[in-house]
Every structure is written in C-alpha cells, then in structure tokens.
Amino acid sequence: MGDQNMQVREMSRDAANLAEFIGQCLEKFHDKPAYHCLGQTLTFAEIDQQSRHLAQWLQHECGLEAGDRIAIQLPNITQYPIAAYAALRAGLVVVNTNPLYTPREMQHQFSDSGAKALVILADFIDKFDEIKSATQIEHVVVTGPADLLGKAVSAPDGYHGFVDAVTLGADCAELVESTATREDIAVLQYTGGTTGVAKGASLTHANLLANTDQMLQRIMQRGNEGEEIFVCPLPLYHIYAFTVNMLTFFGMGSMNVLIPNPRDIDGFVKMIAPFRFTGIAGLNTLFVGLCRHPEFKQLDFSSLKMTFSGGTALTSSAAELWHQVTGCPVTEGWGLSETSPVICLNEFGREEIGTVGPVLENTEVQVWDEQGNALTQGESGELVVRGPQVMRGYWNRPEETAKVMHNGFFRTGDVGMIQDNGNIRIVDRLKDMIIVSGFNVYPNEVEDVLCRHPQVIEAAVIGVPSEQTGEAVCAHLVVDGEIDQQALIEFCRTQLTAYKVPKQIVIQSELPKSTVGKILRRELRTEPA
C-alpha cells in the first residue's frame, strides 16, 4: 500500500486548488462507496455527478461567480458534502454555518460574509425568513433528510429544492472549472477568536490542502487507501470534520458514515451496527455515552484501529473506558479553526493521555511569555504556531488579524508546554472561552444577550465543571429587583444556540472589577458558585 498511499499525498500536494483535488479523488475512487447516511450509500461516482450538476446550476442558473460566498447550513446528511464539493468546484467560497444558530446569529454570519447563496435544511427556513431582508442572499436551496431517498421536500415560493437544482443542473452548460489559486480563500470558518464577536477565519486552498496532506502523513501510518470505513458523528460544519472527513478520509477513498444526530445514542448505534468500521472521531461525552449503551458493547470492534479525540481535553476516564470496551486506544489531537484545524496529533501506538502529541510535519510550535519571548522546553506559556495550515487572517478584520499574527506565528490563546519527548501538553486557556461538549462559547456574546434583559444590570459569564458536557455556562449577574431565572433562561434561548444558554445563574450584589472598572472573570472562577 505504500506506493498507493504516496500517490494520494501527491494529489493533495500537486493540486492547483481544492476543486482539482476533489475532482481527482472522485475520478480515482469512482466505484467505491463514499458516503453512507440514513440507510443510503452513494459512490464517489454518484457524488461526482450530483456535485457537478449542482455546481453547473450555481454557475449558470444563479449566475454566481468565482469568489462569491455560499453558506451551507445543514446537519450531517449527504447533501452537505455534495453542496460543499459543488461550491468548491464552481469556484465559490464555502461559509460553514451551524444549523442550530438563532436568527440573530445567522444574520451576523450571513451579513458579515456577504453570502449570496444558502443551502439550508427545510426545518430552518422560518428562522431565515426572519432575517432574509438583512442579508445579501439571493438564492436559497432547501433540502430535507429524505431528499435523496425519493421524498424531496417542497421548496417555498422563491426558493429552490435541492433535488430540483441538481436535476436542472444536469441540463445546464458544462461546468466552468475553478481557476482558484492555492492562495485564494476556500472556506470562511467562523470563530470567536480572541473576542466574542464571531469572525471568519479565511482558510485558503493552500491551508486546507496542506492540512489534508499533513493528516494523510499521520493517518496513513495506520490506515490504507480505499479500505477505511470512518464513522462521522462530529458536525461537518466544524472545520475538524470538514478537513478530516470531507477532505482527508475522502482523499483516501474511504467511506464516511454520517451521523445526523449523535445525541440519539440508540439511533447512533443502529446506524453503525451494520459496518465493521475502522475509525471514529468523538469527544468525552460521546465516548462515555456509547460505552454505557448495552447494544454498543455488543458490536464487532475487530476492525477498529483509529479513534480520534479533539475539540476539548480528553479525560483519562473516558479514554480508559473506550479502550476497555472497544480495544482501541484514543488518539488525541489539538487544533483551531484558524489552523485548518490540526496542529498536533498523538502518534499511533505511542498515545500519551494528557497530551495532544507532537506537531504535524512542516509545523512549528513555540511557547511564548506575555512579552512574546520564546520560552525554553518544559516551561509553560502561550502556544504559538507557524505552518502552511495557518489562516491568511480574519475576513475583513485586519485589526483583529494583527492581534493574533506576529512574525508569521499565530497566537492560539492556549497555555501549554512542550515536553522532553516532543509531545505538547495543554495546561490552560488564556482566552475566557468556554467549551461545552466541544462547542466554543464566548462569554462576551452571552453577556451581551443577558444585558439586553431589562432587569440585568451587569453580567459576567464563566465556565464551570460539568460531568455531562465538560464545562457548563455559569452567569454571574447584578439585577434590578427580583428576577424570574427561568424566564431569563427562556429569553436567552431566543437569542442563543442551546449550548450557549446559561445552565447556572448566580445573583450577586456586585461583580469584582479592576481599578478601571473591568469585570474580573478570573476572580469569579475562584469563588464558590
């Protein structure tokens, strides 16, 4: 397999852009299964045909031009990779969007990115209708989970059905192949960065192709071309699954088994039971939830050889339980939206729990003090990274970019150390970001919503430990009079995705502040809730 594996890496290295890489993969593995979801398997050839037709429709019916942005707001269904590949093949920029966003969050992302088109689940059309007039979106493609199973959804007036768009695209003029260069932007991946305002990390074709090649180098030490069946419960709108599943494993000719709702453990187990899957990615809560499910324990794990963890710190208890039940060790990595995303990954057979492993090839990580001076090995400080996977910058935000980019290094905001064996250990976070089940929550955004409530005078949001989600959002408030906490939480639910809504509320007479009046969240972390 060595020569074949090298050929896959050469494709990622030599491709002019992602469209060319995707096209080569679709042709190379045309007869192999590419995606399985909801009982249906599509081959690479079928993905090729549908994505090509959709790309032709976007170009010739919608008049979208190279560099235009298209938002994709879908759960893990096969329409996601079809839409993403179509967009890239048409020369468009993909704007990955969480399908659980509230109208307020949708409006910010769509307006900030300047998206002209949207692919959205039918269930969320009402949310989009609320904010449509405040966006530049001209073309909306509506789909449903059963669209590809012969039960196409009916698109509202003025919108287009996914199946109709693909069908009409087949009769359009031929696809105008993308002429994007490696330095052009391919994906806008929204993240809070160092502040609570969601910003689009501008990931170029070069960034994503480089990280794909870096991951291929590491993964192909264990996996082989055309042989892997990888379970994908992590959302494709996250850059982790986007790069690892839709580019890296796809580039190896693997079949991705998409899990639309990983919270439904019963359904999850039923979906993967027919397969002798070789790989899976997840988080603590998912690993523990599966291992406690009696039917999961009865599955055949004889082919499982890769289990990846990322997005939140892997606990030793979750890793040990997974290994005990499946016989497969968990391989933890680390990355950020701004780094396409992977920076580090433990090496197979040499996993060290509590570390995120060594850096990927062609990647440099240093540890800096507060003044930006490099520290010696074994000292803790801010981790900074330089490599071909590091973003160009934040979309239309040069000042925010300047805050995080210094001498070619990206300041991650994470505190860590480099061990003598080269493995990196994440110690803490400089940022006040809270991670709930692997999802990033930015206190500034939650505080802003809380302070819109007429009775809330001041708000400070911190993360507190949670057995269920790793961390939970805790809001410390100064309020006017007596406040109905349940009503306040319901208020937040209208403005925030569920995982951002405070799970704890602490009412205080005042909040700790600095001499200039800045609320000191760090002091709240030392106080009992």
Q: Which CATH class is domain 207-429?
A: alpha beta
Q: Is the pLDDT of residue 518 over 80?
A: no
- Report which of 512, 433, 514 is spatially closest to residue 478, judged by C-alpha positions: 512
pLDDT of residue 432: 75
At residue 508, does pLDDT exceed 80? Answer: yes
Q: Is residue 377 within 8 Å of 421, Cβ to Cβ?
A: no
CB 46 within 8 A of CB 159: no
Confidence of residue 527 (pLDDT cuts 50, 70, 90): low
What is the pLDDT averaged over residues 49-58? Answer: 98
Query: What is the overall mean pLDDT for the chain?
Result: 93
pLDDT in tens, 257-300: 999 999 899 999 999 999 999 999 998 778 988 998 999 999 99
The reply to whether 434-526 shares the fold of 16-180 is: no
For the stretch 54-92, pLDDT in tens is: 999 999 999 999 999 999 999 999 999 999 999 999 999
Return the structure tokens found at 432. Answer: 């006040």
CATH of 16-180, one of 3.40.50.980, 3.30.300.30, 3.40.50.1000, 3.40.47.10: 3.40.50.980
- Paired tokens of 114: 């300047």
End-to-end CA, the chain: 56
Global confidence as pTM: 0.86
CA atoms of 246 and 515, how far apart (whole Å):
50
What percentage of residues in the chain have a pLDDT greater than 70? 96
Residues 116, 69: contact at Cβ < 8 Å? yes
> Looking at residue 289, what is its pLDDT?
87
Name the one residue in this structure whose structure tokens are 């071909």.
Answer: 388
Domain extents in the chain: 16-180, 207-429, 434-526
* Beta-sheet pairing, 409-418 with 424-429: antiparallel
For residue 190, pLDDT beyond 50: yes
pLDDT in tens, 406-449: 999 999 998 889 999 999 998 766 767 899 998 888 787 888 88
Q: What are phi and psi of 396, to 5 degrees?
A: 55, 30
Look at residue 2 and tell me whether its pLDDT is greater than 80: no
Task: For residues 421 and 424, give the distance between their C-alpha atoms in angstroms, rounded to a whole number.
Answer: 9
Residue 194 has pLDDT above 60, yes or no: no
Helix (H, G, I), strand (E, B) or coil at 443: helix
Domain covering 434-526, topology = GMP Synthetase; Chain A, domain 3 (3.30.300)
Instruction: Return the sign of the alpha-carbon dihedral for residues 439, 445, 451, 453.
Output: negative
**Helix, strand and coil in the chain, % to nearest 5:** 35, 25, 40
- Whether 197 shows a pLDDT value over 50: the answer reads yes
